[in-house]
Amino acid sequence: MNYYNEIKQELINNEVYKKAKDISKNRSDLMTYYNVGKLLSEAGKNYGEGIIKKYADKLEMEIGKKYNKRTLFRMRQFYLTFKDEKVSPVGTQLTWTHFRELLALKNMNKINYYIKITGENNLSVRELRQRIKSNEYERLDDKTKVMLIKKEEPKTEDLIKNPILIKNMYDTNNITEKMLAQLILEQLPAFLEELGVGFSFIENEYKIKIGDRYYYIDFLLYNIKDNRYVVLELKNAELKKEHFGQIKTYMNYIDKNVKTSHQNPTLGIILCKKDNKFVFEYVPNDNVVDREYELV
């Protein structure tokens, strides 16, 4: 089999197709590069690693400089990465540029996670790169990672990262809860992305009245995907059992006075400086999750 001629023809056909069918050019790119990667893998087995450089030298002269050795190695890696996967990368919304970012990750479970969130959130390559750089996958708990590997659908709260990263624009790390709230408000879209899918902002210091006293919820949010309110409380200290009593009181108020019958029960999020798993284990915490924050 003449692997070079097969590879050359695949690439030429793709260039022609892209000019004629602009709407489908991404699918054509991925299919072509996958097929070329397969041919390169087979050629390497028959003729050794050096064949890729030999093919690249010829392709650069005959088709274009973008088909250099590095690009051909990526195409082969693309094929080798996905050849045993049940879902074809060609059927995704991702572009070849997205996949170039993902191929550097090596870990297939991590790659599949970023494919999923890129498709769901229509992430640009720059946004995907930022998510990877923030170690988003690593900040999911082990239970959630197992669910993703098994193709099970995690709950919204399972996908809330830990820790939550907050950009610190102050000169000190000894910030008060009020300062922490201000940091969140100044970078609200990024903060809501840290929480996960479907979160939207309603109000900061949301005022409620219980008996003859007024109280203020640090952040009242709404999750569109889950159709429920979210009470978020900030604690610039270690998690304590009394924090659960406070947030459950606020959640019960929202459920009884704000939530309508067609909405789901309120979710509570305690965002603290330091977690305490022992407290969380022994205190009733239905619909409450705790997460640490990290100033970066």
Per residue in 168-180, pLDDT (tens digit) is: 999 888 899 999 9
Entry pTM? 0.87
Q: Which residues contact 141 (CB under 8 A, 6 or more apart)?
A: 158, 162
- What's the confidence (pLDDT) of residue 286? 83
Q: Which domains occur in the chain, in start order?
A: 3-139 (no CATH), 157-295 (3.40.1350.10)
Mean pLDDT of 13-36: 80
Q: In the prediction, which pLDDT does 278 show?
A: 75
Q: How high is the mean pLDDT of the chain?
A: 92
CA angle centred on 150, ends 145 and 152, rounded to 5°: 85
**Beta-carbon contacts of residue 176 (< 8 Å; ≥ 6 apart):** 236
Q: Where residue 33 falls among pLDDT bands split at 50, 70, 90?
A: very high
Q: What is the pLDDT of residue 117?
A: 93
The pair phi, psi for residue 201, each rounded to 5°, is -95, 135
Does residue 17 surpass a pLDDT of 80?
no
Q: Where are the alpha helices (DSSP H) in the chain?
A: 3-20, 25-47, 50-62, 69-82, 96-102, 108-121, 125-133, 142-149, 177-186, 188-195, 241-257, 277-282
Q: Which two tokens stand for residue 136?
A: 């988003």
Among residues of the chain, what percentage have pLDDT more than 90? 79
Sheet holding 228-238, edge to edge: 164-166, 288-295, 264-274, 228-238, 213-223, 199-210
Residue 36 CB coordination number (10 Å): 26
Can you give the pLDDT at residue 19?
67
- pLDDT given for residue 20 in this prediction: 61
The predicted structure's pLDDT at residue 91: 79
**39-91 pLDDT, tens digit each:** 999 999 999 989 999 999 999 999 989 999 999 999 999 999 999 987 788 87
pLDDT band at 288 (very low <50, low <70, confident <90, very high): very high
pLDDT digits (tens, 9 = 90+) for 167-214: 999 988 889 999 999 999 999 999 999 999 899 999 999 999 999 999
Mean pLDDT to the nearest integer, 204-228: 97
Mean pLDDT along residues 119-127: 93
- What type of residue is 117? I
Q: What is the pLDDT of residue 22?
A: 57
